[in-house]
Amino acid sequence: MRILLVNPAKRFKGFLGKTRSLQPTVLPNSLLYIGAVLEKGGHQVQIWDQQVDDRQPADFLRDFDPQLVGFSVSVGGIIYEAIDQSREFKRINPDIKIVWGNVHPSMLTEQTLAEDYVDFVAIGPGEYTLLELAEHLEKSQPPHLTDIKGLAFKENGQVVINPDRPFIKNLDELPDPSWHLVPMDDYWEKSLNTSRGCPSKCIFCYNPPFHKGQLGEFSADRIVGQMEILKGRYDVTLFRFFEDDFCHNRPRLHRFCQLVIDKKMKIRWDCDARAGLTEEDVRLMKQSGCASVGFGVESGSPRLLKFIRKTARLEDIKETFKLLVKYKILPKLYLISELPTETIEDFEATKQLIRELGNPPYQYVSFLPYPGTELYNYCVQRGLEPPKTTEEWAAFISQPDCGIKWGEVPREMTAEFKRKLVKYYFWRRTSFALRHGMFAFYLPVNMSPKEILRVIRFWWRYYVTRPLHG
């Protein structure tokens, strides 16, 4: 069967009229794993990653003629793109089958299937759900759609939601990602996704309702094996572990670091983690090439951290921050503005924490009420009118702060804070790195002309010219 997998993205006209992604381009890891499973099952697969590919539905219908098109639709403005392109595929070829997957349709399955341009929803991780759907459509195996776990569909005008698919805890059973289906040189940083789920239970996060408290991961040996493939095949020396908490499994983290050290791999890597890393953790991370770690602080207010059920305390955050600085690993903080119940005192506590930590690099994004989360339900109980259609969701999410004020902090205060972040983002990051001798993220791994050019290109595209939002 011919299957097209789509990663919707917003683009803008850049230098010399070229279109560019509104965000730094990262590998569409979920689609790469789905593509690998489908190819292993004997299907023809193409990936349309709109971060790096300007083609339109008519181009794929002419050149590939897909029979099934799968859209990865997370929560955000890209819902507009997914809607428009799904409609266009259906307009040109009404017989084509459209399946949506990822967070938004998994959380709002019935609402998504109410749209005439969506035939199926893959709930949760979609590798084997899409494989079985393709087998059913092509060979009637399994014989009934109701036999496919994790699938939702329409039958006689009614939405049918099948039982959940068993969660994959041992991700080593998956094939390597289908990197050959995307133009690898066009991505600013090569990322790997090595785990699913998160041990934290923050009430604002999509992870608990999406993964339902379950954890799955690749082994350290498999991670290093994939890095060796990327290094050998695509000359990758800088890796980004693109997941909520790369470090949650300490034995796996230590084995990973030791493998990289023992193999003398000339690489650098960065990740996201929770506060609470020990000195032994950080020492091994540094020795294995870790150059930067981001961790969710969310707020400098102990009261607000307790309200959103962050397990890390401010003391944990400060201690982890000091350890990263000591070992010259660049720390990045993730903060959330407009959290429900936030007071001016909470807001000032966040600003004070940033000053206390020496004005490190941070991101400050607006709170989004993700459907299915506990904080979303909290907002609904206090007056939030949920959008009634998929298109209304796209409009709702695209508004600054979703058009709703949930805390007590005047918008002028948060807006000014964000303006300063955008204005000084690059210089704050550079200044902090220079003050603390953190050059690892800016220097080539080796001194070959190709590697030097790669680092300059990366530095310019990511730290100087990229647009900032939120």
Q: Are strands 44-49 and 68-72 parallel, antiparallel or unpaired?
A: unpaired
Q: Helix, strand or coil for residue 195?
A: strand
Asked if residues 86 and 79 have their Cβ atoms less than 8 Å apart, the reply is no
Cα atoms in the 13 Å half-sphere on the side-chain side of 143 = 0
Burial class, 383, CB count within 10 angstroms (exposed 0-12 / middle 13-18 / buried 19+) = exposed
> For position 23, what pLDDT does the model report?
62
> For position 13, what pLDDT does the model report?
58
Residues in the chain: 470
| Cα dihedral 409, 415, 418, 423 sign | negative
> For position 469, what pLDDT does the model report?
39
> For position 314, what pLDDT does the model report?
93
> For position 412, what pLDDT does the model report?
86
Residue type, 459: W
> For position 20, what pLDDT does the model report?
56
Arch. (CATH architecture) of 2-161: 3-Layer(aba) Sandwich (3.40)
pLDDT per residue as tens digits for the range 156-166: 989 999 999 99
What are the residue boundaries of the structural domains of the chain, listed by start? Answer: 2-161, 189-464
Give the residues across from 271 on adjacent strands.
Answer: 241, 293
Residue 445 backbone phi and psi in degrees, to 5? -70, -40
Q: How far apart are the first and last CA of the chain?
A: 41
Q: Tell me the whole-structure pTM to 2 decimals.
A: 0.91
Both tokens of residue 336? 């959330």
Give the number of other Cβ atoms within 10 Å of residue 371's Cβ: 20
Asked if residues 343 and 414 have their Cβ atoms less than 8 Å apart, the reply is no
pLDDT per residue as tens digits for the range 39-75: 999 999 999 999 999 999 999 999 999 999 999 998 7
User: Residue 38 to residues 28, 45, 70, 247, 425: CA-CA distances in angstroms?
Assistant: 15, 7, 12, 30, 41
Residues of the chain scoring pLDDT < 50: 15-16, 465-470
Cα atoms in the 13 Å half-sphere on the side-chain side of 118 = 30
> For position 467, what pLDDT does the model report?
42
- Rg of the Cα atoms in the chain: 22
> For position 466, what pLDDT does the model report?
46
> For position 415, what pLDDT does the model report?
83
What CATH number does the domain located at 189-464 have?
Answer: 3.80.30.20
- DSSP state at residue 80: H
Both tokens of residue 69? 């098109």
